[in-house]
Structure 1
Amino acid sequence: MDCLFCKIIAGEIPSEKIYEDEEMFAFKDIDPQAPVHFLLVPKKHIKSADDLKEEDAELIGHIFLKAAEIAKSLGCENGYRIVNNCKEDGGQSVDHLHFHILGQRSLQWPPG
């Protein structure tokens, strides 16, 4: 498979890993938009949020629980934002489901 995130998970492309378990991989964003900005990526290749199935519900719950744990461990006690871009018009640039976690600054709304 020619997927950037699958290659990062496999260690074929270097990344600054923050967390890893059997189901997911977390690493720092290479173009951070906040003092804390990392990505949470399921190891299972799922193209986008539109491609989630009922069987993926436990995986997504796990990712969100870990998002909170990791964000707090990185100093985001005052809050953070979880972003998922879905497909082209949603701004998705890599066809592998992923979540951006941004924190340690005041985040405005709407995002842009």
Structure 2
Amino acid sequence: MRIAATAIGLLFALTAFSSHAQEPAASQWRFTETTLFDLVQNGYSIAAVTSGAARIGPSVEDTFFLQKTNSVFKCFETHAADAGSKRAATPFECYELTKPGATAPGK
């Protein structure tokens, strides 16, 4: 339980680094083609969800933090600010927490 509380605290602290449009090379987050559905199917649990205004346009952005043992992902979903809109304004994106400066597999 203590590990989970520490991990959730870490995830909220990392929210400050959520500039996800083109993560810099030294970023701790690496883009992945994995979906939120895939992560949940592979045993990841949603540890936290935040919601706020998107950086671009009149949209709302939800950030999902998922964890399994020592592996962490964050996924973003942007919705139109119009409550009647059912479709996401931009594609759903997920990023994996990596050691800063780590490269993607195969690079």
TM-score relative to the length of structure 2: 0.29
Q: Which structure dedicates a bigger proportion of its chain to strand?
A: 2
Q: Which structure dedicates a bigger proportion of its chain to helix?
A: 1
Structure with greater Cα Rg: 2
TM-score relative to the length of structure 1: 0.28
